[in-house]
A and B are shown apart, each in its own frame.
Chain A
Amino acid sequence: MAATTTSPNPTRESSLTTSTSTPGWARWANRHRKWLFASPAMVFVAVLIVFPVAWTVYLSLTDAEGSVRAESEFVGFANYLEVLGDTDRFWPAVARTVFFTGGVLAVEIVLGMAIALLLWRPFKGEKWVRVAILLPLVATPVAVGMMWRLIFDPNIGMANRVLGWFGLGPWPWLAGEHSALPTTMFIDVWQWTPMIVLILLAGLTSLSDEPQEAALIDGANAWQRFRHVTLPLLMPTLVVAVLLRGIDALKTFDILYATKGKGGGSFHEVETLNVYAYGLSFDYNEYGVSSAVLIIFFLIIIGSMWAVTSRRKDAS
């Protein structure tokens, strides 16, 4: 039988690293086993995450365009200055991104919370209700975008037909210059509220019943119980939900591209930063400028994340 490796005193060198019957490379490997085991994951992270980001930073400092294999010159921060001074496309895209994200987050959190509270207590048929509520979440975003695009078509779509039944006039929905972005926000809410429901429901079910019961005995009504007992206890889960959904919402692309196409529509109605960067890369082939936009976008996302989590640290 082989000797055991677990030594009673963990700080003592195991015989595997010192014994002379183990070959030299094996002794080295054993001493550095922490690094060795972590190395595949580290290589993965380096290649798939660190390298692309570093390459994008590099590209943003050049005037790369046309073909990635063409010669490009180092231009320093010229791309950044061009982007930050662009009030035609860049800043409106930032505004739309903030508006879109803020809007969908607000609606999804409120709606998600309401639905989670309704699903909290067991009731008849709750399994079916849960499945039904989760259906929008499992559909692929592009299919969702195309489906809603058809429904919202002002001339041959279902939405205006339904409005007609109520005697309301046809709305432009996605076709209108000012109604396109709110309509895409509606689609996003339709698809992603279930995810908020899931997260909040998990948080709710992990809460213990005692504070609720105590409040009930003290005579608190439902709203007071929610406001002063449930909500504070649920805050950590809520922050997680806001963080997860917020970062995704900032980067929303598929719904916007599938419904309005290149450039976010002819008047750039739904052009958020992600859509704009995509257009720069794939339509205009301007890799240097699009890399600059992407790095700025990356910093915006990191900044938002930091803002939310530092608040949370302060609270706890």
Chain B
Amino acid sequence: MLRQSSVIGTSLAVAAALGLSACGGDDAQSSGSKTVRVTLANHVWTENIKKALPEFEKQSGLKVEITQLGEDQLSDQYNVKLNAGSSDIDVMMYRPLQEGKLFAKNKYLADITDKVKSNKEWDWSDFKSGPVQATTYEDKVVGVPLITEQEVLYYRKDLLKKAGYTNPPKTLDELKSMAAKIKSQNPGVAGFVARTGKSPAVTQFSSFLYSFGGDFVDQSGKSAVNSAEAKQAYAFYGGMIKDLGPANVSTDMGWPEAMAIFTQGKAAFYTEANSLYKNATDPAKSKVSGTVGFAPFPEGPAGSKPYSIPSWALGVNDASENQANAWKFIEWATSKAQTLENEKAGVPGGRTSVAEDPAATSTYPKDLVEANAAMAKNGVGHDRPLVVKVAEAREIVGQPIVDAITGKDAAASADAANEAFQKFLDDENK
């Protein structure tokens, strides 16, 4: 008798335990937990912050848990966690131009307008106006700009000298002829390399687009990717890679792959964001670190018009239950002192005062500082279509790029892309 009811009792207890254990997964998160959970992207900025972290933890008494991911994985993570309203993330590093509108529209980003205005010493007005515009949505501040970048020309000083040139190219036509000469002189080395993936290439291509006098949309907001200037830009960019690029070039290269080709010594010229320069000048990462030079983005028919954008910003997760401490982390990471440290370590930030401080760029290669200064005046504030569904838009306007690279009819592709993009814009504005 006793044995029977004990068997039944135990089994019922086991069943109940199994059922309840499924519910036990949540962390008991009381508001104001001492642990701040930060999600960051793979970037030189993140490496710097990780080094400076112990100092913050000592000074504030908070513990910081960092999750670091590649860009694509980060986007996917946010998509899943923020969609589910998870409170797992307190501070997030996001791309204002890629995800900013979508996140703000979906209310993933907490409104930090009051917080940014509250600390006079921290000084919100010190931040550059373009980036601030990108992290403000409907008059509410939702992010603090972290990293700003422009497109710059990376080049191999040794190959340039060998071909008899003393200065890097000033115009796009000069770039083309120099790349052709160097390629013919050095078998196995490409004259030019750049991103080739349909989506990743769009941002680097944008500088070419603007320098030819085009843009993704015209003044009235209609699609302009099949304008004469845009077609010229597509043909130029695609042609450079097709004729002077690496043999059998993959049409999926993002910056890690294109940078690898350059740093392995397999290309003479490379147009890319200047915030990634450390990947080329760090001897631990680059075979050619000793001979890398930097030049301002070459002039096209409409001048030199590289993009100048805030690539990353820090925001607070609206569903976080630890927003006060999340803000403390952001305040520290974007403070004047920390931004100066980051800028010295090679990552241009969002503050005007730091950008103008000569101490900040003391460790940069001199020609990079000169190139940045020259580009500061004529930068364009966006490097991709400014829409909500950026990922899809990039694929549409990026299709002519890959078509030009693989030798298909780029002009026809631009026309098709224009139709598709206009339809996309109409859908979005409905």
A residues touching B (Cβ–Cβ < 8 Å)? 2-3, 5, 16, 21-23, 26, 29-30, 33, 36-37, 39-40, 43, 47, 66-70, 153-156, 170-172, 174-177, 260-263, 265-267, 282-285
Contact = CB atoms under 8 A, between A and B. Distances in A.
B264 A265 contact: no
Contacts of A283: 391-392
For B76, B106, B198, B252, which residue has the most chain A Cβ atoms within 10 angstroms? B252
Interface in B378-404: 388-389, 391-392, 395, 398, 402
A156 B263 CA distance: 11
A78 B298 CA distance: 49
A175 B249 contact: yes
A26 B398 CA distance: 69
Contacts of A2: 1-4
A285 B248 contact: no
Contact of A267 (B18, B76, B249, B251): B251
B19 A22 contact: no
A43 B19 contact: yes
B266 A155 contact: yes
Contacts of B246: 154-155
A67 B264 contact: no
Interface in B236-278: 246-252, 254, 257, 260-261, 264, 266
B196 interface: yes
Interface stretch (B8-16, B32-40, B173-181): B8-16
Interface size class of B (residues with CB under 8 A): 35 or more
Interface string B71-95: 0100110011001110000000000
A267 B248 contact: no
B251 A175 contact: yes
Contact of B261 (A36, A69, A155): A155
B310 interface: no
Contacts of B406: 177, 267
Contacts of A171: 248
B12 A285 contact: no
A282 B248 contact: no
Contacts, number: 111
B427 to A, nearest CB: 11
A266 B83 CA distance: 27
Given A155-B247, A175-B249, A285-B79, A263 B102 contact: no
Contacts of B222: none
A69 B82 CA distance: 10
> A-B pairs with the 10 shortest C-beta distances?
A175-B250, A154-B248, A266-B198, A2-B3, A67-B106, A266-B251, A266-B402, A172-B248, A283-B391, A40-B18
Contacts of A69: 83, 85, 106
12 contacts: A2-B1, A16-B4, A22-B4, A23-B5, A40-B18, A68-B83, A156-B261, A172-B250, A177-B251, A261-B252, A262-B72, A266-B252
B76 A282 contact: yes
Given A3-B1, A69-B85, A156-B260, A37 B72 contact: no
Contacts of B75: 282
A259 B170 CA distance: 37
Nearest to B395: A263
B1 to A, nearest CB: 5
Given A67-B83, A67-B106, A266-B402, A154 B251 contact: no
A80 to B, nearest CB: 20
B393 to A, nearest CB: 10
B389 A30 contact: no
A282 B392 CA distance: 11
A154 to B, nearest CB: 4
A40 B19 contact: yes
B248 A176 contact: yes
B105 interface: yes
